[in-house]
Amino acid sequence: MGNLSGMLVTMPHKQRMLAFVDELDSTAREVGALNVIRCEPDGRWVGAISDGIGCVLGMQWEGNHPANKSVLLVGAGGAGRAIAFAVAYAGASKLTISDVDEHRARDLAASVAAETGRAVHSGPSDPDGFEVVINATPLGMKASDAMPVDPERLAPGTIVVDIINAAEPTPLLRAAQARGCRTQDGGPMHQGQALYALRFLGFDYRPEGRAGVDVGAT
């Protein structure tokens, strides 16, 4: 289709679409999933994923840069995998990955450590002692969901990021605010994803009011 420049892909297709592209940029190759595809002039399809870069961009915009901070990432699924690599590349001093599937968390930690050279480990979802806590699980999308971490273990001043993009604060963010934590919802990550994905597709785009941080298309 000569007038199709690319497309965005969402779950549950992020991994199965790998079989339909000709090339992966570094983000998608490391993560093993994609959510944006670009059609090159010669007809080749190139895939990338914006979840990780989008999350870090959103954190930077909100003044919550993970560089030189200890980070607990809860969730080693598609979005969690992308965020793990991006947070490590962004310079986290220590990254601990937790998941209900301990083998998945351990495998992801080993992959991120090998690729980035950062201190990355798997471990429990105990937020005590971490400067940044990121929820990359679906927990919080429904009111009946369990908490991804025990909010009573959050220290005042901890940065708590919940990637769920909802109109109201999730139960985790409400509990974290009550504990005196600095909180961030999924909106900034959503904006960061849009910036990266549209730049990857060749559009000169920046969310309104977001300045000082940039990312180039791969």
Q: Which residues are catalytic?
A: 14
Query: HSE (CB half, 13 Å, CA atoms) of 126?
Result: 4
Closest to 170 (Cα-Cα) out of 149, 133, 127, 139: 139
CB 123 within 8 A of CB 96: yes
CB 189 within 8 A of CB 135: no
Rounded Cα gap, residues 47 and 53, in angstroms? 14
Place of tokens 């849009």: 194
Rounded Cα gap, residues 94 and 101, in angstroms? 21
CB 180 within 8 A of CB 85: no
